[in-house]
Amino acid sequence: MEEALIPSIQESLKPVVALCKRRGFIYPGSEIYGGFANTYSFGPYGVELKKNVKDLWWKTFVQKRKDMVGLDGPILLHPKAWAASGHVEGFNDALIDCKACKGRFRCDHLIEEALHKSADGMTLSEMTETVIKNKIKCPKCGATDFTEARVFNLMFHTHMSKTGSDGDLAYLRPETAQAIFLDFKNIIDTTRVRVPFGVAQIGKAFRNEITPGNFVFRVIEFEQMEIEYFIRENEWKSTFISWLKSMHDWCDLIGLKKTHVHEKEHPKEQLSHYSKRTVDLVYDFPFGRSELYGLAYRTDFDLKRHAEFSGTKIEYTDPETKEKFVPHVIEPTFGVERTLLALLCDAYEEEKLENGEMRTVLHFAPRIAPVKVAVFPLMKKDPLGSKALQIFEQLRSIWACEYDESGAIGKRYRRQDELGTPFCITIDFETMENDTVTLRDRDTMKQERIPVNQLVQILSEKLK
């Protein structure tokens, strides 16, 4: 059998990865074929978590704001758009191969991990020289025999027609942002937006990444939630600060611990070709502090380049002053998979209980938890079973609910703890006497007795 392509996962992530697989959050991609490197499926609970994150993001940044509209642009854009955006020329990584085991690595990562110094700003030959001079070992086989570092474009290619010739080359988008710039003119011509305003989009992006096995942190197919916020040039500093605050507020809203989220300013010499200022929100992942989200001041670079490459005039006219100008752009960008990984790492706890037993629990904020309420009959048999089903049917029309009638109640609680379900309801013999149930809180494990006719109201309060 061929060597499995499922990447070996870094030690620090193993408990979270194991839980994700065991409980149906995230599976390795194409597993029955031995895996397909750096691809993953989101299982039944992963997809719910993802949907809750995306819905909350849309509600927060589009639905609740007067200055935002949405877009769902295509994955395949005119190939010239990627020349205009600078991706054809400049969206590259430096890669290096181990001659002994044929392992392929990002040269900057190899240097950073071996020497604990940044390779940013190094030329290809400087990188090769650093690897040779310091006798850096191959992380896979330990050999010190590498090829020269060379440039590798991160965009996936495909062909538009049956001929498959180079003339039909198209790219899968490596960022969602460009679709927004391409439709900027359509949006100002067909809606009543006024600068300053933003366009939000959620969608897939693709990058041919080499990864060091950090699970869904760096994958080749992922989702971005991006905003291009159009402003006058002189507004950029204050708009940047206010978006930075909104991004921190978002992290609070989804329940990430404040102490795990930090800012990292990009030094001038490391800025992307389009950016005059970039600040990352970095998160303390188990494998180290790494980029979660980014905020960039993209100036008027993209709109001007698309005007130039397409030959289409792209300008905004102020409806009152009739002033014409090309807006500048502040771009807050959020990766969906990284959000999920941060949420899972933040929520994960192996807790020692008073009786010495261990429980694994995900302390998700109720608003993003995949299942909100689980309903258990103490016994399968009627009348408890049918009463529990009746309550379950009522609750599932409002929230994502689970029904579980198998095994001891303690085991059922543990199952829901691992899914991060905030509340469990048990229907027992007392229910049949006085129409009350027990409501158990995931975090405190405390149980209270509440009347069935107040269940919806009490849960609504708690799940707010």
Residues that bind ligand GAP (CB under 6 A): 175, 177, 207, 209, 218-219, 222, 224, 226, 291, 293-294, 331, 333, 335, 337-338
Interatomic CA distance for residues 56 and 200, integer angstroms:
13
Interatomic CA distance for residues 452 and 281, integer angstroms:
44
For residue 321, the minimal CB distance to ligand GAP (Å) is: 31
Helix residue ranges per DSSP H, 11-123:
14-22, 44-58, 79-84, 87-90, 107-115
**Distance from CA of residue 249 to its chain's centroid?**
16
For residue 205, the minimal CB distance to ligand GAP (Å) is: 7
The single residue listed with the structure tokens 């994958």 is 219
Shorter beta-carbon distance to ligand GAP: residue 202 or 388 = 202
**Distance from CA of residue 52 to its chain's centroid?**
12
Shorter beta-carbon distance to ligand GAP: residue 176 or 438 = 176
**Ramachandran region of residue 240, left (φ > 0), alpha (ψ -120 to 50) or beta?**
alpha
For residue 271, the minimal CB distance to ligand GAP (Å) is: 12
For residue 320, the minimal CB distance to ligand GAP (Å) is: 31
For residue 288, the minimal CB distance to ligand GAP (Å) is: 15
For residue 20, the minimal CB distance to ligand GAP (Å) is: 15
Kindly state the tokens that stand for 426: 């048990």
Kindly state the tokens that stand for 391: 């309550």
For residue 225, the minimal CB distance to ligand GAP (Å) is: 9
Interatomic CA distance for residues 45 and 423, integer angstroms:
16
Shorter beta-carbon distance to ligand GAP: residue 127 or 202 = 202
**Ramachandran region of residue 274, left (φ > 0), alpha (ψ -120 to 50) or beta?**
alpha
Largest interatomic CA distance in the chain: 80
Three-state SS at 16: helix
Shorter beta-carbon distance to ligand GAP: residue 331 or 346 = 331
The single residue listed with the structure tokens 């992963």 is 46
Shorter beta-carbon distance to ligand GAP: residue 55 or 291 = 291
The single residue listed with the structure tokens 């005119």 is 78
Kindly state the tokens that stand for 323: 């002033």
The end-to-end CA distance of the chain, in Å, is: 51
For residue 272, the minimal CB distance to ligand GAP (Å) is: 8
For residue 360, the minimal CB distance to ligand GAP (Å) is: 25
Kindly state the tokens that stand for 2: 């061929």
Shorter beta-carbon distance to ligand GAP: residue 9 or 452 = 9
For residue 182, the minimal CB distance to ligand GAP (Å) is: 14
Shorter beta-carbon distance to ligand GAP: residue 208 or 310 = 208
Residues 155/171, Cβ–Cβ less than 8 Å: yes
Shorter beta-carbon distance to ligand GAP: residue 255 or 385 = 255
Interatomic CA distance for residues 172 and 332, integer angstroms:
21
Q: Which residue is nearest to ligand GAP (CB)?
A: 335
Shorter beta-carbon distance to ligand GAP: residue 107 or 455 = 107
Shorter beta-carbon distance to ligand GAP: residue 331 or 418 = 331
Contacts of range 113-120, beta carbons closer than 8 Å, 24 or more positions apart: 113/139, 113/212, 120/267, 120/269, 120/270
Kindly state the tokens that stand for 15: 């408990």
Interatomic CA distance for residues 292 and 295, integer angstroms:
11
Shorter beta-carbon distance to ligand GAP: residue 45 or 285 = 285
For residue 46, the minimal CB distance to ligand GAP (Å) is: 14
Residues 124/148, Cβ–Cβ less than 8 Å: yes
Sign, CA dihedral 324-329-330-333, equals: positive
Kindly state the tokens that stand for 153: 């474009």
